[in-house]
Amino acid sequence: MALATISVGAAPGVRSGPAFELDERERVVAYWSDPARYTVRLTAAAAKDGPWQVRLTPEGSLWLWNYNKSRGLGKVAPTRDAGAQSPEQVAWEAWIDARVAYDRYAAQQTANIANAEATGSPIPPTVNPPAEPGAMPGGLKALAGEAPPFALPAQPQVHTISFDDGVRLTLTDNPPMRPRYAYYRFPQGVMSGGTRIANMPEPELVALFKKAGIDASEQRILKAVSLLEGGFDSINTYDTGWVSVGFIQFACLKAGAGSLGEVLYRQKADEPAAFEDDFRRFGIDVTPTGQLVALDLTTGEEQVGPDAAREIIDDKRLIAVFQRAGRVSTAFKVAQLEVAMRRYFPADDIVSVRMGDAQASAKVRDLFRSEAGLATLMDRKVNTGKLDPLPKILEQVVAQNGLASLAEVTAFEREIVAAMRWRKDYLVDASLTRPRTIFDAASRSGSVRKSPRVPPRPTNAKPPAKGKGKG
């Protein structure tokens, strides 16, 4: 197949030309042109129950996100709803819940009619319809704007991708979300949790950690945090991360770069032959600045950054390339581990705290000695990108307990870790070492200490009992 040469403009010194030569693009297009490589069908249940299912709308999800942002809540743990933050918001929350329930009911009635027509079955009887939500509260409308439909019928499709080495992957679009999930953006997106690190053979894990230069304590922390994300082969293209891959969901975000671009570039720099086999021969590359590159697998046109991210979301063959690499490539797994340690492991992060008229700074590793403490902070960095509100909590601990130096906060580690909890309580994880409290030291010395004063966790940071999430 003849392909026109693609010219890609870039700033001087960033990219001198396309990532793929003409003959390389022709080979990629030829590879994927085999009809046996990619098939699309309706779900197995569609023949019996019909193809239409109720799904959260991206517009409704975005409205929920903007509603939280307008209330000053920032990022809310994806497994929960933030809830009312004032007496006025109690009525708002009740209206939103009623509207979501009614929209899902209405969408189900529409889906029932369409499914009956598709299958020739009778329309199911209406059962216990919810009450209509009524008029939107004026204060809520002024804050967040008119609410769009929160649910509509959708037709999920199953995508099967087959590689030349026998790897065969199946992905389903329009994944189901919880009704008030605030991070859903791409209904054409797919997800797969992959093989969790905890379920991988121990000898394989030990070899990977050794190759990445990670010691035993760091291994336990990475394993604990990865349980909330997935495996080396996990993928997600439906949420605000745009394209997210790997055991702690390295994301390219809207810019089409991010931590995922860093992982790809790490592998390309360290193991170029493996990178060629894992990614380039299938139409995926990365620029020296960490931007994703993806080919249109029909035309061979090269997309970069945000356009590449969109191409990967739209074409399930491209995201399957990442999932395959996560299953079969040692080099890709090691690159994930190396970037996770460099980007998210908090031990060498510097925290600065105001103490009276002076500013005191210390490395996290000098204040947090337990694996549970480091895991808690890493969970914050992975999911929010920063350690906030740690400096504020440390300042309050120093002031409320009359501490003379920042080093003294180590006696309050357990209480600070509890206040920093994000998605999981690592203090109850038996696989991790846990911090001592000031009472441990006091009991050994025979002295008596007053209860420590530590600020409570912010109300918008408390995940519920486990019951999805990051999305």
pLDDT tens-digit map of 106-163: 999 999 999 999 999 999 988 889 999 999 999 999 999 999 999 999 999 999 999 9
Evaluate whether 417 touches 436 at the Cβ level (below 8 Å).
no
**Does residue 70 carry a pLDDT above 50?**
yes
* pLDDT per residue as tens digits for the range 295-307: 999 999 999 999 9
Evaluate whether 55 touches 154 at the Cβ level (below 8 Å).
yes
Provide CB contacts within 8 A for 99, sequence distance 6+.
133, 136, 147, 150
Cα 230 to Cα 251: distance, rounded to the nearest angstrom: 13
CA angle 6, 12, 14 (to 5 degrees): 75
**Average pLDDT of span 373-397:** 93
User: What pTM was estimated for this model as a whole?
Assistant: 0.85
**Does residue 225 carry a pLDDT above 70?**
yes
* pLDDT per residue as tens digits for the range 236-291: 999 999 999 999 899 999 999 999 999 999 999 999 999 999 999 999 999 999 99
Element (H, E) at 392: helix 390-400
Evaluate whether 190 touches 319 at the Cβ level (below 8 Å).
yes
- 194 by DSSP, 3-state: which? coil
**Does residue 448 carry a pLDDT above 50?**
no
Q: Is the peptide bond before 389 cis (omega within 30 degrees of 0)?
A: yes
**Of the candidates 285, 264, 287, 201, the residue with the CA atom closest to the CA atom of residue 295:** 285
pLDDT band at residue 16 under the 50/70/90 scheme: low
**Does residue 227 carry a pLDDT above 90?**
no
**Average pLDDT of span 87-97:** 98
Exposed/middle/buried for 224, CB within 10 Å: 0-12, 13-18, 19+?
Answer: buried
CA distances from 280 to 7, 235, 236, 266 (A): 19, 18, 20, 14
Q: Which two tokens stand for residue 358?
A: 């002076």
Evaluate whether 62 touches 185 at the Cβ level (below 8 Å).
yes
* Per-residue pLDDT, 454: 57
CA distances from 170 to 75, 192, 227, 295 (A): 32, 9, 22, 21
Q: Which two tokens stand for residue 67?
A: 């509603």
* pLDDT per residue as tens digits for the range 150-207: 999 999 999 999 999 999 999 999 999 999 999 999 999 999 999 988 788 999 999 9
* Per-residue pLDDT, 14: 44
Q: Which two tokens stand for residue 280?
A: 């380039």
How many Cα atoms sit within 13 Å of 203 on the Cβ side?
A: 0
How many Cα atoms sit within 13 Å of 318 on the Cβ side?
A: 28
Centroid of chain to Cα 458: 21
Got the DSSP string for 99-129? HHHHHHHHHHHHHHHHHHHHH-PPPPPP-SP
* Per-residue pLDDT, 456: 57
